[in-house]
A and B are shown apart, each in its own frame.
Chain A
């Protein structure tokens, strides 16, 4: 593992500090020298100077596509970047099982689904199915977790209903499709429905995940945690164990 740099840096092309970046975009104008010049102007305005149009190509009579390489002068200061760091300990399946047993004295129920019209179950399956993801077994593998995977295209009322009948401790929702912000709209609808049908202290833990979520958006979306791309089953299981153990302690 490398340690993260904390001093300001610039993009790297082939020499430290050269600030080189690449960019591609389309302008709604016919391919011409003026079009190329316009592309340079845009790149300049974006802070690329010098900017070199390395490729421009007409796309039909009214559009031109560009690839631009150039230098930016901006500095990036990693010490000023905020991200959601894991604020809970990563546990092994054994430790998760032990924590659940200790704090709940029963199995913990997890209900999972892809909500809305999203048919991509790849995310929820990676976390829940025993097959798992990235070499880690899914939540079905955990002895003390009871997993109910509702699969794809579950409506929000259906999810709430099943969460109630299963007495879910945690609800996992996966959203892959992001067209017109479907993932955000669906998540808000889901969290609102849970708030409406549960007293606040009885509400199950709400966890949402998908490749295009911003992990910082949990509060805004009304959920307890947002997991982004590359999340492993172990991280989710550890989070659930941590939250429920903490909840019991409080």
Chain B
């Protein structure tokens, strides 16, 4: 996404910003080291998916789960799934992965950890097959670039981001196409509630979901094909978003890469804080999924807005900045580039607080100036949407104005009926009318908007940055514990306390053995051209 040239408006000291980044690096590095030493069932299953294993048994348990579970029971998780699986294939246990998974489920194959030449052969064979999947991801990326060129890109920034969520993919499709016609540049299909806590990815086209639609490979394919049609019809490439989060984050990232999704919600800490997923599991899964996103040319959206739904948006403003800095560090470490970082933040200050809009501008501009090249994701008010739809519409107008004034990259359209009903067709129409009016009336107001030097906005932004540095200082102060993991355990973010040895999915984590091998990580780590 091209970013207009801008000069600094907040008079941030470059040395201070640099210092904040170095603290984030210091806080994040031990996490990366830890992540590299572990693997998870989800990372291994994602590897199998990249190798082409899909489908599910009669009960709906995916073959990747069946195979993974059997391998784990026979040889453990710590060596990775690849050596035992391709060793079995080379031994002639089955002709392909699906047949092997079926035999594994029936209990008619035993896995072993190959050694010596057998191990070398299994390594080569697994690498060859997984490379094919990664090559498909590469092809999808090129395909996207070609389609954006052919149909044209979104006409302006911020990109307008709309949500559909009926639970039925065949209902979602016409709704998404209608939303695109009405002006959406990005369609997000909300997942069925609770999918993040499933330790498997459901299979096939799904017609029943709970306040959302299941993320499945087939649903991804169907929706992307429908939006390709819309892109052609509308003469602009309409992007598709889903969620690489929860217990299957790496697998969903792989499926997104294979089916050319364009954006994925992918926060480094969201699962830990809001889904009570084990921190180690999350960081390991997150690193792998971000490597896939980097490769696939997918823009990630981080979830800082969520902190402000649980904590006070003024008091917790610096935790957003801190998390953005951490998300940036983890993203870049995994190979994502600036244009892929949809760092999140939100318009959630209590409108009853005096100068609330000036503070919103300060916070939004702070993110803009710390991350000048990132397409920031700007999230609408939810917490102070009360059911007073008239006031809500006004608040959304101010949210849109703040977005325009501070050069946000991706604008999630706020609904005046937030907290009342799932959006009606008229709610969406009124919301888009609101966005259009503000963008047409004031879309380029940022050119004239220069907060007074030393004024309220400038001082507030500098204050939040200073508080964020203080917080990072406390996190990296190793005298008081294990850094970021302890900060998370103490409830630093979103006021949720999440200790490293608790939470969901911990039993799916293992320390890698000395013979661990994973062809996907090998290729992704080396950023190897295939």
Contacts and interface: CB of A to CB of B under 8 A. Distances in A.
B210 A182 contact: yes
A153 B178 contact: no
Contacts of B193: 116-117, 177, 179, 182
Contacts of A125: 310, 495
Interface in B413-447: 419, 422, 424-426, 429-430
Interface string A179-199: 110100000000000000000
A225 to B, nearest CB: 22
B496 A59 contact: no
A24 B426 contact: yes
Interface residues on B, range: 20 to 34
B211 A179 contact: yes
Interface string B286-318: 000000000000000000001001101000000
A152 B274 contact: yes
Contacts, number: 65
Contact of B211 (A177, A211, A229): A177
Given A125-B310, A182-B193, A182-B211, A26 B276 contact: no
Contacts of B194: 116-117
A206 interface: no
Contacts of B383: 122
Contacts of A12: none
B328 to A, nearest CB: 24
Interface string B445-457: 0000000000000
A120 B309 contact: yes
B211 A122 contact: no
Given A60-B178, A60-B181, A153-B275, A179 B422 contact: yes
B387 interface: yes
Given A117-B193, A152-B274, A176-B419, A26 B424 contact: yes
Interface residues on A, range: 20 to 34
B522 to A, nearest CB: 35
Given A116-B194, A180-B210, 6 more contacts: A116-B193, A121-B495, A122-B309, A129-B495, A151-B496, A153-B275
A125 B178 CA distance: 38
A63 B197 CA distance: 38
21 contacts: A24-B426, A26-B424, A26-B426, A57-B429, A59-B426, A65-B429, A117-B194, A117-B197, A119-B274, A119-B306, A121-B309, A122-B383, A129-B495, A152-B274, A152-B276, A177-B193, A179-B210, A179-B422, A182-B210, A211-B419, A229-B387
A211 B387 contact: yes
A151 B495 CA distance: 9
Interface in A56-77: 57, 59-60, 63, 65
B11 interface: no
A26 B430 CA distance: 12
Interface string B183-221: 000000000011001000000000000110000000000
B309 A119 contact: yes
Contacts of B197: 117, 153
Q: Is chain A's interface secondary structure helix, strand, loop, or mixed overall?
A: loop
Task: Give the most central of A120, A121, A151: most B CB within 10 Å.
Answer: A151
Contact of B276 (A25, A122, A153, A177): A153
Contacts of A129: 495
Nearest to B194: A117
Nearest to B270: A119
Interface in B237-280: 274-276
Contact of B496 (A60, A152, A176): A152
Contacts of A116: 193-194
A156 B275 CA distance: 15
A180 B211 contact: yes
A127 B495 CA distance: 15
A194 B10 CA distance: 55
A122 B419 CA distance: 12
A229 B386 CA distance: 10
A59 B430 CA distance: 10
Interface in B145-179: 178
B182 interface: yes
Interface in A180-233: 180, 182, 211, 229
A177 B418 CA distance: 10
Interface string A105-144: 0000000000011011110010001010000000000000
Contacts of B306: 119
Interface in B451-487: none
